[in-house]
Amino acid sequence: MSEKTPIQPTKKIATLIADLKSGNAKKISTALKTLEASGNIQILEPLAEVLMDKNLVDSHKEIMEFLSSMKDSSAIDEMMRLLGEARFISIRQMLLTTIWNSPLDYSYYLPDFVDIAVEGNFMEAMDCLTIIENMEGPFEERHVLESQLFLRDYIESKEPKDPQKQHIMSEIALFIKDLNDQDDDGIASFMDEDED
């Protein structure tokens, strides 16, 4: 598989990105309305940067609604990249909220959300649980196993645990256990068919 070269933004997209970064609530709103029609994953990072700007709180709700309504599946990988970047930790919970409100399916990233739930605070864990419960699947066996490892690390950690977050982590663990049991049942039924 060949590596993708980054697509250079068109002049129109570059102008919209400049408007998003302008700090002007009216320009941001107009740029979002224009982007709703055309959509482009190149604007996700600039939108995340606007979400980090405390002076633009009035634009945050509109940006979150825009991110929640994205239907282009190419946005999934970019959103996951942003979630993994240290500079966006302060808005990670906001990004998670847009993901669980999104019509896109993030099933491939099951272990990433379990890891975020383990590492994050109670609200991030709650958002991750909601995202995980709404995943459509199918799930790769390696992703289920990786998720179990993250959960095991959480359980075996000697750090004091927030009781509320611990309850959420139990819910995630039950979901992962059910996935694992379904996988085992699938293998068992396949083996039974093979013997006939």
Residues 81 and 112 in one domain: no
d(CA 123, CA 117): 9
62 occurs within a structural domain = yes
SS3 content of the chain, % helix, strand, coil (to 5): 75, 0, 25
How far is 11 from 133, CA to CA, in rounded Å? 40
- Say if CB 132 and CB 120 are below 8 A apart: no
Please write the tens of the pLDDT for every residue from 29-55: 888 887 776 666 778 888 898 899 887
Tokens of 186: 């699938």
**Residue 194 confidence (pLDDT) above 70:** no
E strand segments, the chain: none
Give me the pLDDT at residue 5, please.
44
d(CA 135, CA 28): 31
Residues 115 and 154 in one domain: yes
Residue 5, in any domain of the structure: no
For 195, the domain range is 105-196
Q: Which two tokens stand for residue 182?
A: 């379904």
* Tokens representing residue 38 in the block: 């055309």
- The pLDDT tens digits of the residues spanning 133-163 come to 999 888 999 999 999 999 999 989 888 888 9
Domain membership flag for residue 182: yes
Angle at 8 between CA 35 and CA 59, to 5 degrees: 30
